[in-house]
Chains A and B, each alone.
Chain A
Amino acid sequence: MSTLTAQRTTAAPAARGGAPKRRSPRRRLRGEAKLHPVVWVFVFAVMGFSLIPFYWLVNTSLKQGVSLSKGELFPSQPTFENYLAVFQNPEFLLALRNSVIIAVVTTTVALVFASFAAYALARLKMRRKAMILTLILSVTTFPAIAIAAPMFSIWREIGLYDTLLGLIIPKLTFALPLAIYTLTSFFKEIPRELEESAYMDGATPFMAFRKVILPLAVPGLATTAILVFISVWNEFLLAVTLTTSPEARPVPVAIAFFSGTSEFDQPLGTISAASVIITVPLVILVLLCQKRIVSGMTAGAVKG
């Protein structure tokens, strides 16, 4: 499994720095100062495929009653009623609060633990490093149900079932390997000279880590935080297995159960509005940090 790391380390620097130098000759080879019209068709097809669902979600969220049931391509009478309804729904607000707490706590704790581990794995001499990396990576391939099922029973025994802490702990287990892998590759990129001069001044490895590496790794830490946050926010199986009441349910579960109230009275408009509300912040995050997210995804090469 340690392959994955190594492939990543060869691929990552190129994604960030190595590419521009190499790109121009290839462009010449393909003779593409201007794109062939057929290629433009592909460009627009890809854009359409990516964006149309967003359009339809927003469109649905602005409709009510007849307008909704006719499935108009444009809302003839756009209304924000659905949004108002969502913000007046105590269950949604509770779910939003839960999601924020879970995602923030998990991300913070994962980042602290992972930065220690990642530094050791990136820079220090260590016994059985390959084995440890393999073990960590194998955690990411666990199907969540294999943990959720027994945890359902354990948590019920010890009273963590249907609590926020009961969700944070298992989510942390999946967030840690993601954070460790992404951070390891970021740490590897920090120039060694800086650390070495710290050693010259008599610093211990831990001091070098805390005083030299960590401050320099802030961009990498931020990127990792975004990736972990998105994956924790998105996670569904643990959330649905380990909660039962609105007091502990995070947003994705709350939205999934919105639709289940009645077969005939699907509150499609409200569900869509709620979906838009939780999508907007993450879309803004992606727009602002897309370069970092790309480098983090390709560097860690771990699904978020």
Chain B
Amino acid sequence: MALKSLSPGRGVNSHGLNGREVKSRGGNGRDRAERRVAFRMTAPSLVLMALVAAVPIGYALWLSLNQYSVRTAGLSRFVGLENYITALSGPHWWAAFGQTFLFAGLSVSLELVLGTAMALLLNLAFKGRALLRTVVLLPYAVVTVVSAITWETMFAPNLGLVTNVLSTLGLPGGDVVWLGEHGYAMAVIVLADVWKTTPFAALIILAGLQVISAETYEAAELDGASKWQAFVNVTLPLLRPAIVLAAIFRTMDALRVFDLPFVLTRGANGTESMSMLAYTQLRENRLVGEGSALSILTFLTVMAVSVVYIRFAGGNIREVAKEEQ
């Protein structure tokens, strides 16, 4: 890492955190003192995260192997993989699994395309660019539940903005009960997600765009490339790391989706996500064992996808890891 440049100053630093003399074994003593401080400064965060992330997940694993029902006063019985078998052999998990990936696929691809377009727009020099940047950032500040409620009211039958305008103009869709049918409900959920989080993708891609040097474009210009050719052959390949980064964050988030379907449809019309299904079994049906199994399955799915992403972007990652050291 960038620590090399610290060395001239570090020569003086032969004291530990409390000013104790550190035994100096060659050059290592200083390093050791620094490492000890570093460890002490990082430990509180690590301990907290370990306690609150690892312990519950371990406990969830245990719960998922038990028949545990709050309804029967917490009666617990070890059943092995029964909960998993129930979940995996029933239709609910696979339906939720499919819907979550459908949602993630649709919303992330839309967000990447729109985000790239938005980033290109924000990268242009024009009067009003600052205003545009502020405006596109506003949805980010809106609580997701509020954004879900807003889109719900916009697509409400007869009295929503969208349904109203469509039926006034005599266009199809004005008399559709948008949240009452699977395809339409999914479209509204995707739209609400795209509205709120495209700015996030756009900002990451914009940061990537601003790293591309002007010389690269000049070279392309000299070679007689058209604007479109320059975009496809120069901008897009150089933008790939930023787009992959945005894709990773957005996909991880989309696979965890909960509040949008919760508010918009309560999971009706086949819009239940993996997280929602686990929540429903746990809180509404009080099936702690099966709910835990479902939450573990959700966790494993998200982890698996992140591993695939790392494989997919493997070249980048090795390069970057080297840089990081």
> What is the bound-complex CA distance between A15 and B242, given in angstroms?
12
In the complex, the answer to whether A145 meets B279 with C-beta atoms within 8 Å is yes
For residue A83, CB closer than 8 A to chain B, the reply is no
In the complex, the answer to whether B41 meets A120 with C-beta atoms within 8 Å is yes
> What is the bound-complex CA distance between A287 and B134, given in angstroms?
7
> What is the bound-complex CA distance between A19 and B52, given in angstroms?
40
Q: Which residues of chain B have C-beta atoms less than 8 A from A282's C-beta? A: 141-143
> What is the bound-complex CA distance between A151 and B295, given in angstroms?
12
Q: Which residues of chain B have C-beta atoms less than 8 A from A286's C-beta? A: 134, 137-138, 140-141
> What is the bound-complex CA distance between A18 and B206, given in angstroms?
13
Known: A12-B207, A43-B132. A143 touches B275 (CB 8 A): yes
Chain A residue nearest to B194 (CB atoms) is A49
Known: A71-B158, A147-B53. A236 touches B144 (CB 8 A): yes
> What is the bound-complex CA distance between A30 and B159, given in angstroms?
45
Question: Could you tell me the distance in whole angstroms from the C-beta of A87 to the nearest C-beta in chain B?
Answer: 17
In the complex, the answer to whether A144 meets B37 with C-beta atoms within 8 Å is no
Number of interface residues of B (CB under 8 A): 133
In the complex, the answer to whether B46 meets A132 with C-beta atoms within 8 Å is yes
Q: Which residues of chain B have C-beta atoms less than 8 A from A5's C-beta? A: 320, 324
> What is the bound-complex CA distance between A73 and B10, given in angstroms?
67
> What is the bound-complex CA distance between A279 and B256, given in angstroms?
23
In the complex, the answer to whether B203 meets A117 with C-beta atoms within 8 Å is no
The segment from B101-109, B176-184, B209-217 found at the interface with A is B209-217
In the complex, the answer to whether B259 meets A294 with C-beta atoms within 8 Å is no
- Majority SS at the chain A contact face: helix
Q: Which residues of chain B have C-beta atoms less than 8 A from A105's C-beta? A: none
Contact of B5 among A192, A200, A255, A275 (CB under 8 A): A192
Question: Could you tell me the distance in whole angstroms from the C-beta of B197 to the nearest C-beta in chain A?
Answer: 8
Q: Which residues of chain B have C-beta atoms less than 8 A from A77's C-beta? A: none
For residue A259, CB closer than 8 A to chain B, the reply is yes
Which residues in chain B, 143-165, are within 8 Å of chain A measured between CB atoms?
143-147, 149-151, 153-154, 156, 158-161, 163-165
Known: A3-B317, A195-B9, A199-B12. A15 touches B149 (CB 8 A): no
Q: Which residues of chain B have C-beta atoms less than 8 A from A146's C-beta? A: 56-57, 60, 295-296, 298-299
Question: Could you tell me the distance in whole angstroms from the C-beta of B9 to the nearest C-beta in chain A?
Answer: 3
Q: How many A-B contacts if CB must be within 8 Å?
A: 407
Chain A residue nearest to B321 (CB atoms) is A2
- Chain A, interface size category, equals 35 or more
In the complex, the answer to whether B204 meets A298 with C-beta atoms within 8 Å is yes
Question: Could you tell me the distance in whole angstroms from the C-beta of A256 to the nearest C-beta in chain B?
Answer: 5
In the complex, the answer to whether B37 meets A124 with C-beta atoms within 8 Å is yes
In the complex, the answer to whether A145 meets B275 with C-beta atoms within 8 Å is yes
B contact residues vs A (CB 8 Å cutoff): 1-3, 5-6, 8-13, 15-17, 19, 31, 33-35, 37-39, 41-42, 44-46, 48-49, 52-53, 56-57, 59-60, 63, 68, 117-118, 121, 123-126, 128, 132-147, 149-151, 153-154, 156, 158-161, 163-165, 195, 197, 199-200, 203-204, 206-208, 210-211, 213-214, 217-218, 221, 227, 230, 241-242, 245, 248-250, 252-253, 255-256, 258-259, 262-263, 274-275, 278-279, 282-283, 288, 291-292, 294-296, 298-299, 302-303, 306, 310, 313, 316-317, 319-321, 323-325
A-B CB contact pairs (8 Å), 23 listed: A11-B207, A22-B210, A30-B124, A32-B126, A43-B132, A50-B135, A50-B195, A53-B154, A116-B44, A130-B325, A143-B255, A146-B296, A149-B282, A153-B288, A180-B45, A198-B9, A205-B33, A237-B256, A256-B259, A268-B156, A279-B142, A286-B140, A286-B141
